[in-house]
Amino acid sequence: MREGEFQDLVSRHRDRIYTFAFYSLKNREDAEDVTQEVLIRLWKHWQRLDDEFLTAWILRVTRNACCDVVRRRRTHQGKIGDNPHEPEIESMASRDPDPHREAEAADFRRRLRAALRTLPEPHRSIVILREIQGLKYDEIAAAVGKPLNTIKVYLHRGRKLLREQLREVTAYAKAS
């Protein structure tokens, strides 16, 4: 049996799965659980999957697993809230010599990630797949199971929703 082949598959797709889950859930433990779950499902099915549709299958399973986690959270917590204990990884790396501007940029990024998690589906998945993971429209269409033009509409609506959420923040920052 080609165990090496499966391990190659894992190496090729694990970061993609984890990145999607991380930005979709913004919780490392949940992202790890989802990644592990998806890879185990891949182990069960990979020999029956066509190479051509493998990436789409993986992304679809990952997205469904993330949606399940979100649904469970809603059940347990009543709503999805920002995790105050989540470390701000990006803010650790300083990008701007001006501390005020850097603080504003870090705050903007934190709010952007928080806003991203509040987007409805499939907007959130499409924004993550397109803007963060850099997938092509046709790859996203295959993963989400919607026509290419619909993907573009959802992407633009998703970013517009982010803009509406961040509009007040930006206005406040400018005013202060």
Return the structure tokens found at 22: 């991380």
Return the structure tokens found at 156: 């633009």
Where helices occur in 46-147 by DSSP H, the ranges are 51-77, 89-92, 99-118, 123-127, 137-144
User: Using the rule CB under 8 A, which residue among 25, 59, 61, 127 binds other proteins?
Assistant: 127
Min separation Cβ 93 and other proteins, Å: 10
Min separation Cβ 158 and other proteins, Å: 9
26 in contact with other proteins (CB under 8 A): no
User: Using the rule CB under 8 A, which residue among 31, 126, 141, 142 binds other proteins?
Assistant: 31
132 in contact with other proteins (CB under 8 A): yes
Residues in the chain, total? 176
Between 6 and 70, name the residue whose CB sits nearer to other proteins. Answer: 6
Site for other proteins in 46-75 (CB under 8 A): 47
How many chain residues bind other proteins (CB under 8 A)?
49
Cβ-contact 50, 11 below 8 angstroms: no
67: left (phi over 0), alpha (psi -120 to 50) or beta: alpha
134 in contact with other proteins (CB under 8 A): yes
The string of DSSP letters for 20-68 reads HHHHHH--HHHHHHHHHHHHHHHHHHGGGS-HHHHHHHHHHHHHHHHHH
Contacts to other proteins by CB under 8 A: 1, 3, 6-7, 10-11, 14-19, 22-23, 31-32, 35-36, 39-40, 43-44, 47, 90, 108-109, 112-113, 116, 127, 131-134, 152, 155-157, 159-160, 162-164, 166-168, 170-171, 174
